[in-house]
């Protein structure tokens, strides 16, 4: 044993305690035995090599560990090593392609703004358009770890940009729709209010009729805007009212036609179907569809309103007109706000361009499906399917 490692402090304490026991009158043999045992145990302990009680640890920053941590993140994440892609999680591979592993970042991204950010000697952020596909928008964040490694995060902002653009378009379109009748009303009122202008009675009557027509158009537009706002606000509230559709469809179709156009309605309602729905919104859906069919269908031909059960027992509402029909390129856009295939004709008939947009949101709230089919020169059929109410099993 190395002298430097002798347990001298413990030996001194053992000798001191033994002397104290002897002075106190303890049996000499007991004092000697206890002292020798104590000192011997000190030598035994000091001869053992020191042991570490720390648990073995694994490098928490190994490539395999980092890959495991980020693999299932919904956000595309990459780690680069000397400007080569060392790690890319599943979301990143889905956006950029599986081939990016091990590639130079200039080949992996192939976008001038992205490459410029990756080549910087410091971290940064950039908004990248058309990174993976046309019209997509990504925020790209790069954080430097050390001289070899950097982390890249991709945040998809396409949906936010589309929502913002839709809101901007909506405000612009609504402003335009409101401005046109207001300008007409103001112009005619100013003319009639001019004391120096000698307006003949017939002309005055015509002006007043135009003012009334434009005011009603404004009223209809504001009413539809409020309806659309309410429907959108309730879009995710699943309705729970039991509604029998046969009577509702019959009443709403008659209300939409009014006395003047009632003779053009042809009803085919052989079955009643019960759904879970919002009766007020379903009435509005039928009125909008019937009103559209009466406006754009041939005035000398019937509009057919049918309520059937489809093969699965769900409600199938069909409104068919026999008019000029709609060209195929217009059909995907018909449910957009303020979209019109014939703006002049629509405005002349008092249409706001919001009817089918309201219908679409009502159908979505009722977990249904909206289909529009049309043939130029033959007419248009709008079909709404809504799940039927099922009695809960006992």
302 phi, psi to nearest 5 deg: -75, 155
64 in a domain, yes or no? no
> Are 76 and 149 in the same domain?
yes
> Are 215 and 76 in the same domain?
no
> Are 152 and 166 in the same domain?
no
Tens-digit pLDDT profile for residues 25-48 = 666 666 666 666 666 666 666 665
> Are 268 and 143 in the same domain?
no
Please state the rounded mean pLDDT for residues 325-351.
79
Better-predicted residue by pLDDT, 54 or 303: 303
What are the structure tokens assigned to 28, written together? Answer: 């000499």
Of the three residues 230, 254, 287, the one that is the final residue of a domain is: 230
Contact between 342 and 326 (Cβ < 8 Å): no
| Distance from C-alpha of 388 to C-alpha of 382, rounded to nearest angstrom | 19
> Are 141 and 167 in the same domain?
no
> Are 214 and 260 in the same domain?
no
Contact between 262 and 254 (Cβ < 8 Å): yes
Mean pLDDT of the chain: 83
> Are 38 and 136 in the same domain?
no
pLDDT band at 10 (very low <50, low <70, confident <90, very high): low
326 in a domain, yes or no? yes
Nearest Cα neighbor of 266 from 295, 307, 313 is 307
40 in a domain, yes or no? yes
pLDDT score recorded for residue 169: 73
> Are 361 and 248 in the same domain?
yes
Given 3-state DSSP classes, what are the helix, strand and coil percentages for the chain, each rounded to the nearest 5? 50, 20, 30
Contact between 304 and 373 (Cβ < 8 Å): no
Tens-digit pLDDT profile for residues 364-386 = 999 999 999 999 989 999 999 99
* Whether the predicted pLDDT of 116 surpasses 60: yes
> Are 250 and 328 in the same domain?
yes
Domain containing 199 — which CATH number? 1.10.287.130
* Whether the predicted pLDDT of 393 surpasses 60: no
Give the torsion sign (CA, 361, 362, 367, 369): negative
- Secondary structure of 335-368 in HEC code, one letter for each residue: CCCCCCCCHHHHHHCCCCCCHHHHHHHHHHHCCC
Of the three residues 208, 230, 252, the one that is the final residue of a domain is: 230
Tens-digit pLDDT profile for residues 295-323 = 888 888 999 999 998 888 899 999 999 98
Domain containing 366 — which CATH number? 3.30.565.10
Of the three residues 230, 250, 273, the one that is the final residue of a domain is: 230
What are the structure tokens assigned to 253, written together? Answer: 């179709």
Q: How far is CA 93 from CA 26, 127, 181, 271, 299, in A?
A: 83, 19, 53, 52, 57
Q: What is the residue range of 308's domain?
A: 238-386
Contact between 109 and 131 (Cβ < 8 Å): yes
pLDDT score recorded for residue 48: 59
Any idea of the CA torsion for 262, 267, 272, 273, to the nearest 10 degrees?
A: -90
262 in a domain, yes or no? yes
Q: How far is CA 110 from CA 103, 118, 128, 237, 265, in A?
A: 11, 11, 11, 44, 60
Please count the structural domains in the chain: 4
60 in a domain, yes or no? no
Domain containing 121 — which CATH number? 3.30.450.20
Provide the 10 A C-beta neighbour count for residue 374: 21
* Whether the predicted pLDDT of 12 surpasses 70: no
Tens-digit pLDDT profile for residues 126-147 = 999 988 888 889 999 999 988 8
| Distance from C-alpha of 76 to C-alpha of 128, rounded to nearest angstrom | 14
List, in sequence order, every residue forming a beta bridge with 385; answer none if it has no partner. 316, 369
Question: 263 exposed, middle or buried (CB, 10 Å; 0-12, 13-18, 19+)?
Answer: exposed
> Are 312 and 254 in the same domain?
yes
Q: What is the percentage of the chain residues whose pLDDT exceeds 70? A: 81
238 phi, psi to nearest 5 deg: -70, 125
Three-state DSSP class for 66? helix
pLDDT score recorded for residue 197: 74
Please state the rounded mean pLDDT for residues 44-69.
60
| Distance from C-alpha of 114 to C-alpha of 78, rounded to nearest angstrom | 13
Rg (the chain; Cα; Å): 41
> Are 90 and 25 in the same domain?
no
| Distance from C-alpha of 337 to C-alpha of 170, rounded to nearest angstrom | 7
pLDDT band at 152 (very low <50, low <70, confident <90, very high): very high
67 in a domain, yes or no? no
Better-predicted residue by pLDDT, 168 or 130: 130
* Whether the predicted pLDDT of 56 surpasses 60: no
> Are 176 and 261 in the same domain?
no
66 in a domain, yes or no? no
pLDDT score recorded for residue 21: 66
Count Cβ neighbours within 10 Å for each residue of 64-74 and write b for 16 or more, e otherwise. Answer: eebeeebeeee
61 in a domain, yes or no? no
What's the whole-model pTM score? 0.58
């Amino acid at each position: 044993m190395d002298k430097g490692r002798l347990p001298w402090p413990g030996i001194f304490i053992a000798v001191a305690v033994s002397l104290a026991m002897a002075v106190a009158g303890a049996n000499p043999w007991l004092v000697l035995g206890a002292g020798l045992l104590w000192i011997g145990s000190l030598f035994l302990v000091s001869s053992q090599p020191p042991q570490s009680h720390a648990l073995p640890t694994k490098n928490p920053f190994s490539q395999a560990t980092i890959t495991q941590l980020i693999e299932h993140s919904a956000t595309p994440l990459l780690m680069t090593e000397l400007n080569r892609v060392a790690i890319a999680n599943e979301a990143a591979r889905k956006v950029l392609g599986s081939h990016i592993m091990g590639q130079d970042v200039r080949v992996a991204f192939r976008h001038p703004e992205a490459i410029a950010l990756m080549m910087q000697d410091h971290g940064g952020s950039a908004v990248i358009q058309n990174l993976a596909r046309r019209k997509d928008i990504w925020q790209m964040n790069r954080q430097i770890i050390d001289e070899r490694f950097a982390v890249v995060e991709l945040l998809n902002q396409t949906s936010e940009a589309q929502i913002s653009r839709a809101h901007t378009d909506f405000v612009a379109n609504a402003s335009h729709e409101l401005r046109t009748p207001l300008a007409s009303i103001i112009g005619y009122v100013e003319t009639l209010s001019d004391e120096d202008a000698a307006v003949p009675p017939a002309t005055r009557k015509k002006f007043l009729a135009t003012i009334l027509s434009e005011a009603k158009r404004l009223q209809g537009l504001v009413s539809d805007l409020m309806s659309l706002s309410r429907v959108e606000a309730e879009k995710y509230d699943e309705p729970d009212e039991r509604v029998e559709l046969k009577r509702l469809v019959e009443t709403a179709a008659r209300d939409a036609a009014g006395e003047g156009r009632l003779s053009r309605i042809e009803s085919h309602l052989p079955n009643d179907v019960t759904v879970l729905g919002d009766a007020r919104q379903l009435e509005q859906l039928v009125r909008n569809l019937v009103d559209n069919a009466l406006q754009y269908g041939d005035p000398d031909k019937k509009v057919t309103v049918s309520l059937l059960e489809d093969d699965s027992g769900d409600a199938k509402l069909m409104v068919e007109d026999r008019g000029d029909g709609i060209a195929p390129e217009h059909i995907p856009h018909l449910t957009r706000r303020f979209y019109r295939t014939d703006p002049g004709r629509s405005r002349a008939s008092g249409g706001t361009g919001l009817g089918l947009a309201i219908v679409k949101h009502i159908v979505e709230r009722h977990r249904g499906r909206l289909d529009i089919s049309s043939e130029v020169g033959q007419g248009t059929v709008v079909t709404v399917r809504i799940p039927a109410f099922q009695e809960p099993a006992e």
